[in-house]
Structure 1
Amino acid sequence: MTNDLFSATKGAGQSSGYQPLAARLRPADLESYAGQSHLLAPGKPLRESIDRRQLHSMIFWGPPGVGKTTLARIAAEAADAHFLQISAVLSGVKEIRAAIAQARQHKSSGRDTVLFVDEVHRFNKSQQDAFLPYVEDGTVIFVGATTENPSFELNNALLSRTRVYKLRSLEISELVGVLKRGMDELGDAAQASQHCLELIATQADGDARRSINLLELAADLADDGEITEQTLEEVLQASLRRFDKGGDLFYDQISALHKAVRGSSADGALYWFCRMLDGGCDPLYIARRVVRMASEDVGNADPRALSISLDAWQVQERLGSPEGELAIAQAIIYLACAAKSNAVYNAYNQAVAVIGAGDSHEVPLHLKNAPTSLMKDMDYGAEYRYAHDEVGGYAAGESYLPEALKDQQFYHPVDRGLEKKIQDKLRYLRERDKSSTIRRYD
């Protein structure tokens, strides 16, 4: 065997009967766990919590195959806590009650229970509410896993009782490390070069479970156990050599496409788009990224860019190849030639940063709704100025922010494309605010 091949004898003590390679490789401790160094490096709060065996209720938010379930198991094992797992896809209130009953039994004997809820975002509001009293009284240490943004998919009540940890897709180097462990487990039954492992890692798109499954399938199809690029082409149904021609990896190419659009190079953007298609990239993935470019780099300088990008995505979904790819190419060229502005992108990020770093300001009284007499008596909606009844349809001097943020400005339009007109309009309105004799918070 050459030096750049990875294989080893199977470990002793392996249980009899078939087990998927991914199950056999599931880490049992943090030392063998791959990725998430931003959460698990020494000194990080989550790492400290696990090392000190002082767990708290938490939400693991991240893409598939990054180790959410495994991390929950490791944490429970480290804390010598009983581990219970339910899935929001298969479970309801009945299963929740059964899990709570088990947790109470263990609590009575002095042992904590980690209740792991997979795909917690699929539970409805009442099902999520069912956990609240048991999280509050310590019956369970609640650990939820979700691929969706918890801010949108989980109740505020549940979020307020947990801490959210954002898990990231694994890097190529981290996936290669996982695959090398897979090669060790497969033993003499399979061999693969560093290059082939990197190709598998690239195609796995940050998903450790997918990378292991691809490796296992490649090992089954390999002639005499030798996993080659030809083997991988059969497994992935795409020419990975062309996809990685010249040493460029997947994310390098999507980055080049994005930067060519931002730099108004229609030719460069079209080239990288076709390179990715030639390598077998899913056109729908590119379509999704093009929509992102329309908002991030064109924005309100040309709002038509977003509509054109969404239309191209829909054409790909409805008609497939080759009509869909042509529509995406049209959108990419339009974005590259359009006026550019990242003002919306910057405004959004600034607003998120202010909210994340500051207090949770209440809605000012004049902006609150008053559907009941009690609320009216409490001055909800008092002194609200109906803009349609004001001169020019604008309540000059009014504020729609909390008082502590009354002078905050997030959105700064550029002087290109339609945003030039938006800039002029906002400047005019601010001048009216300054000259108004009615000023909120004065």
Structure 2
Amino acid sequence: MIIQLKSDNKYFLDILYKNPNTDQGLYLKELKDGTVIGNAVSANEYHCVFLDGKHSYLPEEGNQIDFQSYCSPLLALNIATEFFNHLYKENSVLEETVISWLDKNYNEIDTEKCTIEIATFFIDSGWYKNERYLLSKYIDGITLNHKIGNNFGLKIKGATVREAMQKFSLVALFTHFTNRYAVYTYIDDYFIQKHITMFTNLKGIPYFVFYLFIKRIMRSPNQFEKFKPQLEAYFNNDVQFVFTDTHQSRKEFICRKIDFDEKVLDFGCGELQYFKLLHKRGFKQEYFAYDEVDFRPIAEKIQALEKADNLVWIEKVEELKNFEGQIILSEVIEHNSFEEAKSLLIWIRDNTKFSRLFVTTPDKDFNVNYEMTEEFRHDDHDFELSNAEFVALINEIFPNPKSFYGVGDCVKGVYPTSAVIIQKK
């Protein structure tokens, strides 16, 4: 792998802490089983070259072709840490840091644009789609040029050397943790703090990038709680994060409120995610599962593997008439036309004797946080409602006592999921 850094800044090498007169501008460091070499090509260009000894970045040790050592995002991240770790401090600290041999601080000298390029960068994930990399949508200055297979040319532009390096490291970080072909990396608090500092050093990073960082990188609720205040402070506390992703948040919300002494009907059960979580937590009552799509093979597999005798697959909706118990209707209504959704809710109202009905659906007002404008959150949605429209729909159909909730992260008072728990008449 070769990383090329370029800037017209006359203090470029000073910012990098590299002296072109030391050992002819060469720096050598051990990295895993190889050697990373830094070379001051000129006053305005610096190269980092990695020469591997033996399979330092290859998950499959039996493979004799160690191509990952030429293009691994984890290697890019490691090289940047080895040579430029001093640029990862908080901006407020760096701005006041004086470079002794110049008697100037970073604010005075780091004022010119910088580019960082990698000729071959490996991406093996859904984050590159329709000829665009996901982070390019949210952070400017990130360009990918597809070469062949999963190999891309990567170019990062920053207004300063610090900004370019921090963008570069964030791209390497996210790419590594979303690649299917990746070396396992231990995530400790130091690692988390370093990259949170990079986030907060950059201006205008949107909510969704922070969301991806929490869901993809953080390993435990305790770790999340430790750093949550820093993440929310970036948005002046207009954002409140939760540890679980949007789908998990819905499951947690409903499963925490389910009465374990009463049977459940999962209407539009899909692949039985709710049953799996409830079963894991010791739910023993009858659990009726219905969906227009035939998920019976999945139900039968769960019944056999988990010895879940309480799971009952329902073939026809007519079998659900006069059902008595709790009903889950989670992320179902938006997969129908609006009129069909109303008819479904009315059918449940008139044909079952539910004790509590749980309904969730996406709040379309949250979609702006995904950089979405007119499109629905998922391609198979026929409509999406604002929270106000959802409340109006539920109140129109159900005169019953009910409680409305927002589920998931909260951005300026808006949640990704609208939810209601409707009580029996």
Question: TM above 0.5, one fold?
Answer: no
Report TM bin, short chain: under 0.3
Which structure features the higher share of strand residues? 2
What is the TM-score normalised by the length of structure 2? Answer: 0.25
